[in-house]
Amino acid sequence: MSQELNCRISDSLSASLEKEVSRSGHSLSHVVEQALTAALGLEHHSVFQVSTSGALVKGVFKGCTTVDDLKSHGDFGLGTFEDLDGELVMLEGHCYQAGAEGVLQEAEDDWLVPFATVTRFNSDKELTLQNITSFEHLQKLVDAERSSNNIFVGLYIEGTFDQIDLRAACKARPGEDLVAATGHQSEFSFRDIEGTLVGFWTPEYAKTLNVPGWHLHFISKDRSKGGHVMDLRARSLNAALHFETDFHVAIPETKEFLAADLRGDITAALDIAEKVTLTDR
């Protein structure tokens, strides 16, 4: 749970904080939290994940942790809610749900989460991306900045999108697996919209844990719209990469997870559920 901090600081420190807020574009709360995290020696390069992509593919959608608990492990990330009820986006310590047609609302702390990936985002590398013609093009540009195919990467991108195509998973029906459940997902697009992409790159060897390659969610600047990224176009975007070298997985103890058959190759099912539009299925 977030706590409010009231304290006295010097004028010079206050000026430095204001300067960093202006430079980074982040909120004062975010800047202070990041500075305290660094000063106290908390983990800067750790990913915390709830459940696995393999379980999600098999239809293990029952919540095993709360939004409040998720916030204690990170301030940045993505996932979904119980019964696959919309897309989860976490940014600057706030957790949001993107539902049908991309309508966004802030999640309550007691909402249940079956799958999520979060970190405490700290920029290790920053760059400007120009004339992005598609999501595939964006991935290639950012891939060139990765130093290894064997570590996880957090990705923060902000700017104005000429067009962004999104989807939001709709609440799964009883007995559905991931492919079936996303077969009635909500798909929508926005034009000339300012916002942020939040997500991760996962190595191929970890595909039973998370979605391999880039997995990104979008949240508009006014916090009214969002969803899972399918495609996009933009003239100029600012990007920051966070190289993750520590990975923690919380294994659910729900009856559904413990009884699930998680064997087998999930690659094809993940590709359909995460990357293919309803029109192309």
Residue 37 has pLDDT above 90, yes or no: no
Location of structure tokens 């799958």: 115
Residue 53 has pLDDT above 50, yes or no: yes
pLDDT tens profile 121-143:
988 899 999 999 999 999 999 99
Residue 129 phi, psi (nearest 5): -105, 135
Mean pLDDT across the chain? 92
Share of the chain above pLDDT 70, in %: 96
- Dihedral sign from CA coordinates of 26, 32, 35, 37: negative
- Other CB atoms within a 10 A radius of the CB of residue 3 amount to 4
Q: What pLDDT does 3 receive?
A: 64
Q: What pLDDT does 2 receive?
A: 46
Rounded-to-integer distance, Cα 90 and Cα 188, Å? 20
The whole-model pTM stands at 0.84
Topology of the domain comprising 43-281: 60s Ribosomal Protein L30; Chain: A; (3.30.1330)
Q: What pLDDT does 44 receive?
A: 64
Query: Averaged over 10-15, what is the pLDDT?
Result: 88
Q: What pLDDT does 32 receive?
A: 82
Q: What pLDDT does 20 receive?
A: 86
Report in angstroms the alpha-carbon separations of 204 from 81, 146, 148, 149, 152: 25, 14, 12, 8, 10
pLDDT tens profile 60-111:
999 999 999 999 899 999 999 999 999 999 999 999 999 999 999 999 999 9
For the chain, the domains span 11-42, 43-281
Residue 135 phi, psi (nearest 5): -65, -40
